[in-house]
Amino acid sequence: MAKDDIYQASLEYHSRGRPGKIAVIPTKPTLTQRDLSLAYSPGVAEPCREIARNPDEAFKYTARGNLVAVVSNGTAILGIGNLGALASKPVMEGKGVLFKKFADIDVFDIEVDTLDIDEFVDTVARLEPTFGGINLEDIRAPECFDIERKLKERMQIPVMHDDQHGTAIISGAALLNAAEVTGRKLSEIKVVVNGAGASGIACTNYMIGLGVKAENVIMCDSKGVLNKKRDDELHWSKLPFVRDVPGRYLADVMDGADMLLGLSVKGAVKPEMLKRMAKNPIVFAMANPDPEIDYPEAIAARPDLIMATGRSDFPNQVNNVLGFPFIFRGALDTRAKAINEEMKRAATMALAKLAKAEVPDSVSRAYGGEKFHFGRNYLIPKPFDPRVLYYVAPAVAQAAMDTGAARVRIDIEEYRENLRRRTEPGRAVMSVAISKAKALRKRLALPDATDARVIAVAHQVINEGIAKPVLIGEKARVQAAMDGFDEDLFEIIDPVKPPSHELLEQRLREHEGMFSGTELDSHTLGALMADLRMVDGMLSASEKGVYKDKIPAVLRHVGRRPGVRRIVGMHIMLIKDRALFFADTTLVIQPSAEDLADCARLCAEAVSALGITPRIAFVSYNNFGASPAPDAQKIRDAHELFVVRNPGIEATGPIQADIALEPEEFRGVVSAERMPRAANLLIFPNLDSANAAFRLVRVTAGAAALGPLLLGLRRPANVMPRGSTVQEAVSMAAITLAMPVLATESGAYRSVGPGVGPNVSAQWAAPRE
């Protein structure tokens, strides 16, 4: 998009509908007079008294613990300059949007109309009772150094000037990894810095803290090299970087430099300068909005360079959004008194570590399908990598506790898990299964193991300690793909040479053409191994092929549990913090009343095993038998069969879907005695309606859909549909292995249906039919 186009689009974006980008949203009910009397007078008086008695109670009764002030005087707005306090408001609102989007932190933007340092400091310092932290933004140098220092001295909450420290923290992570990629030691590299403003000085000081030697740094400002020959008066912030070196301008000091750190202006660096740098030079050209030298021009001059910029369309974007939301998240959640150097370094180390981890396909999708791997073009994570939250914030929180900056102590692993649940909708629902799978560390068959997605799933399953993958595929290719992992952590089975197992060979001989000279299909082998207990479960996670081509192997070779009429498929729909379960979304096209009752029982067991109390709704177009039509009668019969056979399980029907999900909204439509509680497990009349419903909810409500989970098999086996993410497959791996054990331990339901024993959950491993 051309610059003129993006500027016009931005004006329309900001003015369309409700002007601006942020709003205040109530977090408590305000529907009744009683609600209002609690929110305000007279009820609000009691929290006021509690806070007066104990100021820490403000974190319990108010939003202070999740509220940051973004404060500016507008003297250094982006790359534009001093436009004044009011003109900085769109930027400050934008900063608030980023805080909320990436770390769920609430923000008030505050524009202070003064150029006087002490007036600014007094204004901000007096706001301390309101906020949990202060983010200073777009304040020019050198005033910004004095403002931040004075506020830190006066305030007992975190204060950070992001233009200084955010850029330093992110570029520090990039530098650590660039040094690793090029085989350099920080203590030995020669660095030239162009730009002696807030970011340039902060980044340089930070690099020195990471291990760069101060004497190996040469700094230039807008007038040239900071050397002893300068006759102009320098601000105190520049004095530590004055050197006794020859040369007056940037071009004079580039010979043999290992790194160029640019925080200046577009066009400040010429191709000839890069040609004089050392082998494999590190160039961080981070002028905003355009770098000191364009990426294509730099690569043309030095094909061996490693480059980072502030631009999203070039590799290695140094974007402050990788830092400030998560640093403040960790600081707020420990009620830190400050953001100290140790907390900043913890953030840097966490980002550098994350860049080396395998990148989930959800990140690739956010960037047009591009694949990312640690190396010279991928030194730091991408801004839309959701893992940054649970990598950086816990690291910062731990550093806050270790250094005494924290007022409260938290369990870091529990904290990390809670943060992870925010980024992965299924994780909260799946936490029981994931925890159980980690405790069991069972063996999981993964067919079609030469597929890239299967390998990615295997890597993550190992890294998270969920299972020991049994990879079924061509041994040499699979082995190469698993390079770097200890061979004790996984197994490889080549379908050309199946394991020697008497029952397996017998089953294979029953199916002519599958054995004795013909290569065995990996899905068939995986299903048979699961059914024969040679592995603890099977998951088909490959991107190749479609669902209907892979599911037959499971249905043909894994037996049903006794008493189960049909195998059914259940989807878990995750909408914000709410979990709904839809069935049968996959297999049975026109179920009978008996089929629907059995489906409801199987689903109820599964939901209960996940630690959730099922509340079932048999969905129809009519309510409670209002229609005499045969289709409506089928739903009535299914509901009656289920209630008789499964006493104690809450179920209602026939009922319309909207009433089932939000019954309180329909008081007066449904009589009080029939008013159900909100359902979480919906049994649909047929495959058409169930499948359409889960797809519509996924698209229109932005729900995550996990599944289908195959229910009724005697041994756990599942097939992921094409288009599923690696993370969804990892969650499914956990549920595949943990569900039988969880169902047995929960004692699920003591049904009295025909062919069902006293504890149906215990029959997952019953003899094959």
**Exactly one of 7, 21, 28, 95 is catalytic; which is it?**
95
Q: Are strands 224-225 and 217-221 parallel, antiparallel or unpaired?
A: antiparallel
Q: Is 710 helix (H, G, I), strand (E, B) or coil?
A: strand
The kind and range of the H/E element at 708 are strand 704-711
Which bin fits 11, alpha (ψ -120 to 50), beta or left (φ > 0)?
Answer: alpha
With the C-alpha atoms ordered 380, 384, 389, 390, is the resulting torsion angle positive or negative?
negative
Determine whether 40 is an active site residue. yes
Helices (H), 104-244: 117-125, 143-154, 162-182, 198-210
Contact 342, 399 (CB under 8 A): yes
Alpha-carbon span 101 to 386, nearest angstrom: 11
Alpha-carbon span 402 to 343, nearest angstrom: 9
Beta-sheet strand order (sheet of 568-575): 650-655, 615-619, 681-683, 578-583, 568-575, 704-711
Closest CA to 282 of 364, 194, 191: 191
Alpha-carbon span 706 to 343, nearest angstrom: 36
Residue 663 sits at the vertex; the CA angle it makes with 662 and 668, to the nearest 5 degrees, is 135
Q: Is 129 helix (H, G, I), strand (E, B) or coil?
A: coil
Both structure tokens of 586: 């996959």
Buried b (16+ CB within 10 A) or exposed e, 195-209: bbbbbbbbbbbbbbe
* φ, ψ of residue 259 in degrees (nearest 5): -140, 140
E strands present in 18-114: 67-72, 106-111
**Exactly one of 7, 13, 40, 249 is catalytic; which is it?**
40
Contact 578, 591 (CB under 8 A): no
Determine whether 89 is an active site residue. no
Show Cβ contacts of residue 273 under 8 Å, excluding neighbours closer than 6 positions. Answer: 250, 251, 254, 260
Both structure tokens of 385: 């990598």
Place of tokens 């005695």: 673
Residues with a known catalytic role = 40, 95
